[in-house]
Amino acid sequence: MTTLDSPPVTAASKIFNFPRNAWYVAAWDHEVTAKQPLARTVADRPLALWRNSDGRAVALADACWHRLAPLSKGKVLGDEIQCPYHGLRYNSAGRCTGMPAQETINPSAIVPSYPVVERYRYVWVWVGDPDLADPDTVPDMQQMDSPEWAGDGETIYAPCNYQLLLDNLMDLTHEEFVHSSSIGQDELSEAEFEVSHDDRHVTVTRWMRDIDAPPFWLKNMRDRFPGFDGKVDRWQIIHFEAPSTIRIDVGVAKAGTGAPEGDRSQGVNGFVMNTITPETARTSHYFWAFMRNYRLDSQTITTQLRQGVHGVFGEDEEMLAAQQQAIDANPDHEFYSLNIDAGGMWVRRILDRMLQAEGLPAAAAK
């Protein structure tokens, strides 16, 4: 294993705080409609999400100025949202435009409005300082809407701190033990890996050469190359981008056909797309998709891959929920790090710097 430098060996902040000056996915684009507001909490901020008459997604604080009734339980009326309690109406900037009980509108009747960007089939929201919300810093998930890739995904409501999900995705050796019937194999722990990083990104690269394909990947090879049998070269290249997006370049190719050198033509390639949105210190919205660049017109393969990955991630969900329960039951215990945690530890360092820049502690409030 080679790294640019060495990460710390302990991780004291088991309930990790989350930056606010960052883009987080609030919803899939199809979830936000002009029919009914959607309630979604992002980084401890309850939001009401809806679309105006132009189809633009809007994110307002989910509490009416008057008596804090949830706007998400109200109605969308063209370019306005109406409070379900006393009928106050707000525009997309959060300013009250109507008070049914009186003609004069109180000038202080405003609810916070948050910057929104729609990209890569998602609705992204910035809950921090709006003056810092630069759309160019939305994390790269280009495979999600590229015509060269096909696939679909789901959302998992994960009862754990978002950092546990990031740890899980940055170290895929757990597949050997948690996913032994689908994508796990001994070579995951045996193979060397490389880690590189900068101030916003971490990359972990692992190659496993001349090995048997695990069941998941053998099926995918046979989808593209019917009757395939033999050894493969397998790769996992994990790309993290702050604060919580991870794209994993994965695949297998017939052994010895040049995949490690860049020729993947004799294999199958996918991207596991993951972006995690902290809801609270102990709950997260986990948006994922599996994208592929072969047999793009096959809805059968898209559905089978989504169902297969759903089963794999269900095993992760069970483990992470149990881990969070154990953390809460053992508040005085520390985390310790192994060599396999190098990528995850650099993620923690990046997040720690982001939190320091906002004047926030690394540990979330209990």
In this predicted model, what pLDDT tens digit does every residue of 74-101 receive, in sequence order? Answer: 999 999 999 999 999 999 999 999 999 8
Q: Percentage of the chain surpassing pLDDT 90?
A: 77
Q: Percentage of the chain surpassing pLDDT 70?
A: 91
Q: Which pLDDT score, from 0 to 100, does residue 319 have?
A: 87
For residue 162, is pLDDT > 50? Answer: yes
Q: Which pLDDT score, from 0 to 100, does residue 182 have?
A: 53
* Lowest-pLDDT range of 154-163, 236-245, 275-284, 330-339: 330-339
Q: Which pLDDT score, from 0 to 100, does residue 1 have?
A: 37
Q: Which pLDDT score, from 0 to 100, does residue 178 have?
A: 55
Q: Domains in the chain, please, with CATH?
A: 23-127 (2.102.10.10), 141-358 (3.90.380.10)
- Whole-model pTM above 0.85? yes
pLDDT digits (tens, 9 = 90+) for 35-47: 999 999 999 999 9
Q: Which two tokens stand for residue 306?
A: 């989504």
Residues 300-314: what's their mean pLDDT?
Answer: 87
Confidence of residue 142 (pLDDT cuts 50, 70, 90): very high
